[in-house]
Structure 1
Amino acid sequence: MDARDDAPGPAGGGGVPGNGSAGCEGPVAEGRYARVERERRFLMGRAPEPAAAVTVRSITDRYLDGTRLRLRYVQHLDGRREFKLTQKIPAGRPGPVQGLITNTYLSADEYRVLAALPGALLAKRRWSVPPLGVDVFEGALRGLVLAEVEFADDVEAAAFTPPPGSVAEVTDDQRFTGGRLVRTARPELLRWMAGFGLDADTAAR
C-alpha cells in the first residue's frame, strides 16, 4: 500500500472517497435544502462511562458505492427506529466547517429499497454525552472511539476546549471520517492508532 494512504488528508466531512466528486468551491454557504456542517472531532482513549451517557443508540451506515450518499439506520433503546438518507458535499479545506449536508427522512419501505444498492457498511454505538456524541465502533473498527461536537458558528467552534480523555484532535485527519473508515481494514486501523499510542485490541476488551 502506498504510504500516502496513512497520511492525514484534507478535511472534508464524511464523503465517500473515489467517487470523482469535488468539494465545495468558494465560501461554504447554506442553500435551500442543505445546511453547513460545522464540527470538531477527537480521538478518545476509551469509551465513556455508562453513567455519563444521556442516551445510547445503535447506528448502521451504508455508504453507497460511487456516490456521496449515506443510508443510515438508527435503533434506539426504547425500540424506536429512524431511517435517513444523507448527502455530504465536503468543504475540501481544513477547519471545523466540514461542508454541506442534506438529510432526508425515509419510511422503512423506502429504506429497504435503497439498502439493496451496493455499498459498504459501518456499525457503531453512539453515546450522547452532551455536548459530545461519542461513537464506539464495532466490527473491524472495534476499539476505535471518536467524539464529535457540532457548533452553530465559527466563534463557538474556535472556543471549544478538547474534552477530557481526548488523545488527539482529528478534525482535519481524513482517515477518521466515516467515508474513509468504512473502507479501512483492521491492520490499517491498528497502525493508525498505534501512531497515537493506542492499542485498539486492548481498548476493545
Structure 2
Amino acid sequence: MTDKAGGIRGESVCPGKYARVERERRFLLAEPPIPSAVTATRTITDRYLVGTRLRLRRADWPDGGCELKLTQKVPVAQPGAVQGLITNTYLSPTEYDLLARLPATLLSKTRFSVPPLGVDVFGGHLQGLVLAEAEFTTDEEAQRFVPPADSVAEVTDDIRFTGGRLVETTRQQLLQWLAEYGLQPAKR
C-alpha cells in the first residue's frame, strides 16, 4: 500500500519481481571534488515526467558514449538510507526520443565519480548546489558508511535535496535552503 505522497507504508521495503530496494545516503558539499580525485565524469539530463513517478535520464560521457533509461522511483515513508523501490529500463535512442516528447520538467547536472561517491554539481538556477551520494546493497553497509570528510551535512532525510523536489525548486528557495546549512554560493 502507498501513502498519499506515493510512499510505501510499513516498516520494511521488499523488492518486487522487477524493482529493487534503493539504499543511498546523500551529503551536501561546499564545493565540487578536486579533479585529481575524479575517476569518471558524465553529464546527466533528467526529465521528470509530469504527473508521474517516472524519470527519463540521458547520461553523456566525454568520449561520446550515452546511456538512456526510464526509471520509476517509489519512495518509502520512513527515514534512513532505504529510499524506496527503484526500477530501471534501458532504452534505445528511438524509445528515448519517443518518451522525451511527453511533458516533463528538466534537471541537469554533471556527475563526478569519486569512489565510493557520485558527486553531482548542478548548473542553471541550482548553481552552487553540490550533492554527494553513496549507494549500498545492505542496510548494514549504509549504517557503517563514514560520511566524506568535506561534507557540510547529511541530507539523506531532507526531501528538499531529492531530484523530484529539486526539479521544482526556485533559485530563491535553493539559496534559503543552503543558507540553513551555512552555505552561500557565489553570485551568478
TM range (shorter): over 0.9
2:80 counterpart residue number: 95
Residue 182 of structure 2 corresponds to 197
The aligned residue for residue 79 of structure 1 is 64
TM-score of the superposed pair, with normalisation by structure 1: 0.87
Q: Does 1:187 align with 2:187?
A: no
1:47 maps to 2:32? yes
Q: Distance in 2 between matches of 1:122 and 1:129?
A: 21
In the alignment, which residue of structure 1 is the partner of 2:17?
A: 32
1:57 aligned onto 2:42: yes
The match for 1:115 is 100
Structure 1: 4+ residue segments shifted above 4 A: none
Letter of the aligned partner of 1:181 in structure 2? Answer: L
Return 5+ residue gaps in structure 1 as ranges. Answer: 1-19
TM-score, normalised with respect to structure 2: 0.95
Q: Please identify, of 153-162 and 98-107, the stretch whose mean Cα deviation from structure 2 is larger.
A: 153-162
Distance 1:89 1:146 in 2: 21
1:109 match: secondary structure = helix
Q: Give the letter for the 1:136 counterpart.
A: V
Identity of aligned residues (%): 62
How many aligned positions are there? 184
Superposition deviation, residue 24 in structure 1 = 1.3
- CA distance in 1 between partners of 2:99 and 2:27 (Å): 31
For residue 200 of structure 1, report the CA deviation from its aligned partner. Answer: 1.9
SS in 1 for 2:186: helix
Counterparts of 2:115 and 2:61, CA distance in 1: 17
* Residue ranges of structure 2 left out of the alignment (5+ in a row): none
Alignment of 1:119-138 (within 5 A): 119-138=104-123
Alignment of 1:124-203 (within 5 A): 124-201=109-186
Distance between the aligned counterparts of 2:154 and 2:65, measured in 1? 33
Q: Cα distance, 1:195 vs. partner? A: 1.1
Q: 2 CA distance for matches of 1:21 and 1:189?
A: 22
Shift in Å at residue 21 of structure 1? 5.2
Q: Give, in whole Å, the separation in 2 of the partners of 1:195 and 1:70.
A: 28
Counterpart residue identity of residue 123, structure 1:
S
Deviations 1:49-105 (A, max 9, x none): 111100000000000000000000010011101110000000111000000000000
RMSD between aligned alpha carbons?
Answer: 1.1
Pair 1:23 & 2:7 matched: yes
Higher relative contact order (CA 8 A, sep 6+): 1
